[in-house]
Copies of this chain bind each other. A is one copy, B any other.
């Protein structure tokens, strides 16, 4: 039960991209976060496949958000990088073994699968309620302004 570590990087990148109006290259983002440049590229690829960011090739290229910050939820980023399939996968144990339940009686999902599905649903719903804009607002409130300005200047260079 471990979420992909790239989710954290993806969220940070979305926050940074929202702040900078110009395209930002993967190399810049990697240096800013001090993480592997190649691996971050893979995560950005996933975001691009999901349609959250749009990549511009060639000189002065980079990544830009496709939508406004308040239209991108944390769940979008999580599902783009970590996948959409739920953590719990039923293997239909009750249809195996000597006391197997016949398949025609398995029309209704069992209580275990329903419980897990419900928990997964509230988890996703909780993540869907927070948008990138909310994160940005909180970051702006809690981090010193001089650091924010410095980061924006460093990105432009």
A residues within 8 Å of B by Cβ?
A: 1-5, 7-9, 11-12, 31-35, 74, 82-83, 87-91, 93-94, 96-99, 101, 105, 108, 110-112, 115-116, 118-120, 122-123, 126-127, 130, 134-135, 138-139, 142-144, 147, 150-151, 154
Number of copies: 2
Nearest chain B CB to A120's CB is how many angstroms away? 7
In the complex, how many angstroms separate the beta carbon of A39 from the nearest chain B beta carbon? Answer: 13
Which of B89, B97, B115 contacts A130, CB < 8 Å?
A: B115
Q: Contact: A88 with B8, CB < 8 Å?
A: yes
Cβ-defined contact, B91 with A8, below 8 A: yes
Judging by beta carbons under 8 Å apart, are B3 and A154 in contact?
no
**In the complex, what residues of B have CB within 8 A of residue A88's CB?**
3, 7-8
